[in-house]
Each structure stands twice: as structure tokens, then as C-alpha cells.
Amino acid sequence: MRIMKVSESSRKLGQTDLRVSSVAMGAWPISGMTSLEVNDADSLATLRAAFDSGIIFFDSAYCYGANGESDRLIARAFESCRDEIVIATKCGLHWGADGKMAHDASAAAIRRECDESLLRLGTDRVELLYLHAPDPKVPIEESAGALKALLDDGKARSIGASNFSVTQLAAFHAICPISAVQPPYNLIMRGIEKDVLPWCAEREISVCPYWPLMKGLLAGKLARDHVFDPKDGRTKYPMFQGEEWLKNQDLVDDLREIAADVGRTVSQLAINWTISQPGITSALCGAKRASQIEDSAGAMGWELTAEQRARVEAALARRGEPVSRAAV
């Protein structure tokens, strides 16, 4: 039995007739690209737990897995209820022969990656197709034109843009209508409030950010004395280093007190704050275990009081401006 009916937390995606849950599940962790501690059984259980918890919005990408693992897992998990979920996927990035991520947002690559993703997903269309990132070698107008053709062909019901500046969004939107934008955004990484959020609000474009927990920082589970593995990619971000790390731990301590008073986990508080911000439609939460996505889903269906929101803002004021909000 599902814990929450979709209608209780669903939101309109841009100017489309699509409805999405305010928490989306990101499929990157189950793709196996950053952790060997994944297997199909756990991944399928995680996807199904998300659905059972009220999440109907699932976010994949052509490059999520060496051979499209995230797409294939979504297809297996929801074969019997495909029409009950909203699938977003992304194109324009792939793994090169050298094992590194490479851009290719040419028209030919976009068409090819879309077709391959549809085949992996076992469907004839996706509800939302993003350009994963601008390709510095390809004019935005060419990429936008290719995505507009896929929209016109019915292979995508709507189009999105991920990791774009406002200038790039404007150039893209002039060729192909954008329904959703996907930037990083969370309690301490709020740069889009200055430009992207207002630009999208004026045009009724949804904003569906990733990193609402800032790569685990805002989940409240990393101890102050945590020692990161040298191979852990988080060590390159200023907020995981030195004085910034200590300030963030102080913030998490403040959030932990507020969360306890609300009767929620720290991660639920952080995600709820994100999805409650003006202009935010859905927050993308990654997970590789059922318990993780069940916790994230618990951020839906409730609101902070004005006093609780004020306490969060006071905690953010004590933390101060991060050294770098724009590191991606």
C-alpha cells in the first residue's frame, strides 16, 4: 500500500499537463558508477520503495552507467506500471574510451542517445528529456533544434536544460520551449535565487534541482571528525574542507535541533526546505538503498511553521556566506 497518494504532493511540470512528485528519485547512485556497493536486487527494491512512498518522478541519464544501467533498472522496476510514473532522462554526455565523461550535444548524438535510452527504458517516449549540459563545441541553437525535433516527434513530451546559465537558457528557449531546468540548489548553495529562479518564474518553467542534501553534507550523518577517502570526489569542494567544513557542521547541529522539534530527520528538513522555496517544483534525491529514498520521501506532505522557517534562516545567517556556492 502506498503511503501517500500522488495527488497529495504532485505539482505541475512547467506549462505541460504532466504532474510530478515534489521529491524525485535520482538514478545515478544505482548506476554503479561511483560505488561498488550496488546490485540489481537492492536497486530494484530502492526504485519500488520510492514508488510505494509516493514518488512518481524518476531521473535517469544516458551516462548513468557504463551500459545504461539506470535506464534498464527503471524499465524492470516499472514495466507493469509505466503509465503511473514520470521519467526524465538526459542526453549530451557520454563515457569516452578513456573512461572520462565527454560532451557531445550535436544533433546526431542527441538523436542517437535518445533512441538508445528509449530502447533501454522499454518505452516509446519519456516525459522529460534534458540536455545534460551545454557542449562548448556545439552551438546551443543546434542542440536545441535537435531536441525540438524529438519533441515534435513525440519521443519526448517535454524538454529541459541542466547546468545552464540564464544566457544559455534564453538562447535555448528561443529555439525549443523549455519546461524544466535542473541546477544544483540547497540550503547553502543558493546562487540560482539571483537569476535562474526569477527567469524561470517569469516563464512558468519548473526548476527541479539536484543536490538538495549537498552530496550528503545536509543529511546529518557525516561526523565532524569524518575522514574522507582520498578518492572521494567531495574533497574537491570547499564546503568539505577546513573552516568551511566546521561551519557546515555547526549548521547541521542547528538543523538537527530544529528537525527534532519538528519530528523529522535532518535530511527531511533540508529537502522540505528546498521543495518549499518559491519556484521549486521537485528536488532530485539520489539513493542506493530503500531506506534512503524512504527517508527522502518523508520530506513531502508537510510544511514548516513560520517560526521553524525563521529558525532555519537564523541558522543560515550564523553560518554565513559559503566560500563557493557555485562549485559544481
User: In this predicted structure, what is the pLDDT of residue 34?
Assistant: 75
Residue pLDDT, tens place only, 103-150: 999 999 999 999 999 999 999 999 999 999 999 999 999 999 999 999
Transcribe 109-165 into DSSP letters. HHHHHHHHHHHHHTSS-BSEEEE-S--TTS-HHHHHHHHHHHHHHTSBSSEEEES--
In 3D space, the residue among 120, 293, 105, 302 whose CA is nearest the CA of residue 213 turns out to be 293
Architecture, CATH, for domain 6-217+267-303: Alpha-Beta Barrel (3.20)
Angle between helix 242-262 and 266-275 (nearest 10): 90
Predicted confidence (pLDDT) at residue 23 exceeds the cutoff of 80: yes
Backbone angles phi, psi at 95, to 5 degrees: -90, 125
Find cell 557546515 and name the residue. Answer: 248
As a three-state string, the secondary structure of 117-129 is HHHHHCCCCECEE
User: In this predicted structure, what is the pLDDT of residue 233?
Assistant: 85
Q: DSSP assignment, residue 102?
A: E
User: In this predicted structure, what is the pLDDT of residue 7?
Assistant: 45
Do 180 and 130 contact (CB within 8 A), yes or no?
yes
Predicted confidence (pLDDT) at residue 54 exceeds the cutoff of 50: yes
Predicted confidence (pLDDT) at residue 24 exceeds the cutoff of 50: yes
pLDDT band, residue 8 (cuts 50/70/90): low
Do 106 and 59 contact (CB within 8 A), yes or no?
no
The domain ranges of the chain are 6-217+267-303
Q: How far apart are CA 258 and CA 260, in angstroms?
A: 5
Catalytic residue among 62, 64, 185, 237: 64
The whole-model pTM stands at 0.94
Q: How far apart are CA 294 and CA 289, in angstroms?
A: 9
Q: Is residue 64 annotated as a catalytic residue, yes or no?
A: yes
User: In this predicted structure, what is the pLDDT of residue 105?
Assistant: 98
Alpha carbon separation from 241 to 34, 221, 238 (Å, rounded): 21, 16, 5
User: In this predicted structure, what is the pLDDT of residue 3?
Assistant: 40
Find cell 535562474 and name the residue. Answer: 196
User: In this predicted structure, what is the pLDDT of residue 230?
Assistant: 84
